[in-house]
Amino acid sequence: MKVVAVLSTTVIPLDGTYEVKTVEIPTNIKDVPHYIGHPSTKQIVESLGAIPAQFKLFGGLQVGETALTCAIKQGQSIRTTGTIDQDVTIDQLSFRVMTRLQ
């Protein structure tokens, strides 16, 4: 499985069938573009090797492509407004791989 993008949540701008699975902390995202704006999540994925995407808008996955999502785990977010400044640790993130099947 080759990861082509790192996202802060499951983003599906293209119709299709997808498979989503929870995984351990990723080790295969060196030089993979990320689309994460949340400051501490961005710092974590960059420390794992991801790089900022050239464009801020994720266009979606083609058939056979996989993205890694790095969302704050359920119950870990303290967001009560639209702010995104919560500091999180890698242990507070849930990692999933999303693959477009067709």
The mean per-residue pLDDT over the stretch 43-60 comes to: 93
Q: Are 76 and 97 in contact (CB under 8 A)?
A: no
User: For residue 5, is pLDDT > 60?
Assistant: yes
pLDDT of residue 81: 55
Q: Does the pLDDT of residue 40 top 70, yes or no?
A: yes
Q: What is the pLDDT of residue 82?
A: 56
Say what the pTM is.
Answer: 0.84
Catalogue all structural domains in the chain, each as residue range(s) with its CATH number. 3-100 (3.40.50.11170)
pLDDT at 83: 54
CA–CA dist 79, 86 (Å, integer): 7
> Per-residue pLDDT tens for 61-94?
999 999 999 987 765 555 555 555 667 889 889 9
